[in-house]
């Protein structure tokens, strides 16, 4: 049975000490404790909720945050994206 063989191999390797990485490890900066990825600056912009977009804001430039739910192409120049943000679309 393959499950039993795998389990026995894991038990055998459990007590074996880990080998140190080789001295010429070229990828050592890619693992271990890395700094957090976070924004270094906070841009001065006001986000508008998707559910608050109405005809009154049609001539305004607004910032929204969301993810693309669906994307459709119409002809050669137009593209329609449906954005989702929490519960609104």
For residue 63, which phi and psi values (nearest 5 degrees)? -105, 130
Q: Tens place of pLDDT for every residue, the chain, 89 residues?
A: 556 767 776 777 677 776 776 678 778 777 777 777 777 788 888 888 888 888 888 898 988 888 888 888 887 788 888 888 776 56
Instruction: Name, in order, each residue with C-beta under 8 angstroms of 50's C-beta and a sequence gap of 6 or more.
Output: 64, 66, 83, 84, 85, 88, 89
Find tokens 């055998």 and name the residue.
Answer: 12
């Amino acid at each position: 049975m393959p499950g039993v063989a795998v389990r026995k191999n894991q038990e055998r390797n459990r007590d074996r000490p880990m080998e140190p990485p080789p001295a010429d490890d070229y990828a050592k900066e890619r693992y271990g404790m890395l700094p957090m990825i976070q924004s270094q600056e906070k841009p001065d912009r006001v986000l508008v909720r998707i559910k608050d977009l109405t005809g009154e804001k049609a001539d305004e430039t607004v910032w929204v945050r969301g993810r693309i739910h669906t994307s459709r192409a119409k002809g050669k120049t137009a593209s329609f994206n449906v954005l989702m943000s929490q519960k609104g679309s």
